[in-house]
Amino acid sequence: MSEATAEVQRALEAILFLADEPLSVTVLAQAAETGRREVEALLRELAKGYEQRGSGISLVEVAGGWRLVTHPEAAPYVEQFILASRHARLTKASLETLAIVAYKQPVTRHQVSSIRGVDSEGVLRALMERGLLEEVGRDEGPGRPVLYGTSSVFLERLGLSSLSDLPSIVPLLDDAGSRASG
């Protein structure tokens, strides 16, 4: 393989690595500043190379274009990794916010921020991305802010069949009051 061909192949691989959708041979040829036939041959060579060396990624032709994907035989490991990262420990701010929403729901971002004493937009967004919170409606007040509530994933992760299974907050409040006055 010539140095120029190796450079084009490297460029194609880098572009495919960054792409979040299948790319047509035409798009790839324009990006690599080379002909379609050469691009097609290099893509097939790349795909064959990944397969021959037992790579964890594959280059596949799908939906009218080419795309880098995880190798199907790596699926159990990829799935385990994704699930483990989604179940990563929650930060103190996340736990605090989750508790506020669980006991006060439905609640607005402003209400959560007022209780916590700091802006909670980022924490609420992160908890929604993890599937622990969801939008449950809109408040009737000015601007009709989003109302947040816990999700079925929240119940599942805590092993609860319903919100009524949450422990009572009263004993915790009594304990906090006696420590503050003592």
Kindly state whether residues 97 and 65 are assigned to the same domain: no
Average pLDDT estimate for 133-153:
92
pLDDT at residue number 86: 59
Q: Which of 56, 64, 54, 60 is nearest to 27 (CA)?
A: 64
Is 101 part of any domain? Answer: yes
Domain extent at residue 40: 3-74
Tens of pLDDT, residue by residue over 82-125, are: 776 656 678 899 999 999 999 999 999 999 999 999 999 999 99
Contacts with 175 (C-beta within 8 Å, 6 or more apart), sequence order: none
Are residues 148 and 107 both part of a single domain? yes
pLDDT at 173 over 70: no
Do 113 and 149 share a structural domain?
A: yes
Please identify, among 13, 39, 74, the residue that sits at the C-terminal boundary of a domain.
74
Last-in-domain residue among 74, 105, 130: 74
**96/159 same-domain check:** yes
**0.75 surpassed by pTM:** no
Judgement on whether residues 100 and 34 belong to the same structural domain of the protein:
no
Cα distance between residue 12 and residue 177, in whole Å: 65
Mean of pLDDT over the chain: 88
pLDDT in tens, 24-44: 999 999 999 999 999 999 999
Claim to verify: residue 51 and residue 124 sit in the same structural domain: no
Looking up residue 140, the CATH number of its domain turns out to be 1.10.10.10
Q: Please report how many Cα atoms fall inside a 13 Å half-sphere around the Cα of residue 125, on the Cβ side.
A: 4
Number of independent structural domains in the chain: 2
